[in-house]
Chains A and B, each alone.
Chain A
């Protein structure tokens, strides 16, 4: 288990957004978080790379361990944590730089400056994000000139370039067209051979299609976490069944 969460409570000021979350996430697999809007999926995802730190009034109890180390321990270096735990957002957010510089941004932050080394890394990351063939001749072009789907794959390449172990994806296909979505879904299946992927999705078919495990959230609690097959075919909890059969949410 690469990620282990124990008795996690998260408060936004007075409001408790996560209640007593216990969850383990296995290595090299795709885990999908599903649940109705506002149930805390993004919040949990963002505790995994500590993106909630900058929100004023956030308070966390319990432990979150990644590769056996408590990421909220006082000696954790947040920058290093985020290097290991990459994130792709809902809206594609490439920097207003060239395609090449977007991908090289992360490695440069972490001290890689040799041109040859960067070239290689950029190509490798773009290939892993299955974008290389489309952009290899226009690497100097602005990333903003790409289509939405290409931009999102660029953001995946950018996240892969710092060589993370875990990739967090928060509804990363919800702003994209069906073809781009399919591409990213296929890509996800490919990437999970090397990376641990945790994704939030509102699309239950998507969760069923590409995830190995599915976690169902309701009102800040984990209702059920199981193999995707099991969870969708024979849910244990009544609320899970109601949700996946579309009776609420």
Chain B
């Protein structure tokens, strides 16, 4: 192999014999591989230890401490220090699902509108003003959201609706603002990546802008839009602090949106500090964490399914 363009190669390299050069490449290759494999291994070990740790603690109540899984998933009473102790987690599950789904129902339409506005209607303004603003929302710490919820949303709800203001609706509202950036960003990306030809094809047939948006753009990007929604729900499901500040933390299933409730995450953060490691109460909280983890896996799985649909 003789390459005549000697000025392209560095003088050191052109002096080296082909075999040396090859050896050097092999060595580099191996070094890179070792580095990459090490990082991957570290990540896998970390993930597995976390899962193993949560699972071993979280399964203990069912395996060795005499709690029935059914009682935890369907029980209504949470009295871990009572006689006998009760571990009904249904109210928390309900609270977590209710607030996150409700948050998604509020946030998704807003996010879709915002991203359509940013991509189709005012791309310039969207890119220079709206998008940075929304990305900024994503960077605000959750305690700030909780605080705003507590000092703005809760008083507003208290004055407008029956009840104390704290409750499912307050939690859902706070969460909806928190997940707005997630859904908007993903929706905007998917709208931007839509091939231009599709839109032009629609316009060329005499479609108006709204017809094109509703009949081509939204249906085509729907799987990606739903991916954003699921990731938003996942984020809302795992959020602890902000919700905990506005939901009222009452361990029962609420009868209305304005009643206090609680979520898996808030109960874990509230009670974890008061229990001793290895106790039944402590392990039961790990069971809740395990449920959270399972839900996260489920969300990831759903996202994967949606992504597969996008590719087709």
Q: Which residues of A contact B (CB under 8 A)?
A: 49, 51, 54, 78-83, 86-87, 89, 91, 93-97, 105-106, 109-110, 155, 158-159, 162
How many angstroms between the C-alpha atoms of A120 and B177 in the bound complex?
Answer: 50
Using an 8 Å CB-CB cutoff, how does the interface string of B90-120 with A read, 1 for contact, 0 for none? 0000000000000000000000000000000
How many angstroms between the C-alpha atoms of A24 and B201 in the bound complex?
Answer: 26
Contact of A82 among B197, B198, B206, B215 (CB under 8 A): B206
How many angstroms between the C-alpha atoms of A89 and B201 in the bound complex?
Answer: 8
A94 to chain B, nearest CB (A): 8
Given contacts A79-B208, A105-B215, A109-B211, contact A95 B203 (CB under 8 A): no
Residues B12-26 near A (CB distance < 8 A)? none
Residues B160-219 near A (CB distance < 8 A)? 195, 197-198, 200-208, 211, 215-216, 219
A109 touches B206 (CB 8 A): yes
A83 touches B197 (CB 8 A): no
Q: Which residues of B contact A (CB under 8 A)?
A: 195, 197-198, 200-208, 211, 215-216, 219-220
Closest 10 CB pairs of A and B: A93-B197, A82-B206, A106-B205, A83-B206, A87-B204, A79-B206, A93-B201, A109-B207, A96-B220, A91-B197
* B contact residues around A97 at 8 Å (CB): 219
A167 to chain B, nearest CB (A): 11
A159 touches B205 (CB 8 A): yes
Give the interface centre of A105, A159, A162 by most chain B CB atoms within 10 Å.
A105
How many angstroms between the C-alpha atoms of A80 and B201 in the bound complex?
Answer: 15
* B contact residues around A79 at 8 Å (CB): 206-208
Contact of B201 among A95, A110, A162 (CB under 8 A): A95
Give the interface centre of B195, B201, B203 by most chain A CB atoms within 10 Å.
B201
How many angstroms between the C-alpha atoms of A11 and B216 in the bound complex?
Answer: 30
B216 touches A95 (CB 8 A): yes
Closest to B207 in A: A109
A95 touches B202 (CB 8 A): yes
How many angstroms between the C-alpha atoms of A87 and B198 in the bound complex?
Answer: 13
How many angstroms between the C-alpha atoms of A23 and B60 in the bound complex?
Answer: 85
How many angstroms between the C-alpha atoms of A93 and B206 in the bound complex?
Answer: 15
A82 touches B201 (CB 8 A): no
Given contacts A95-B216, A96-B220, A105-B215, contact A86 B203 (CB under 8 A): no
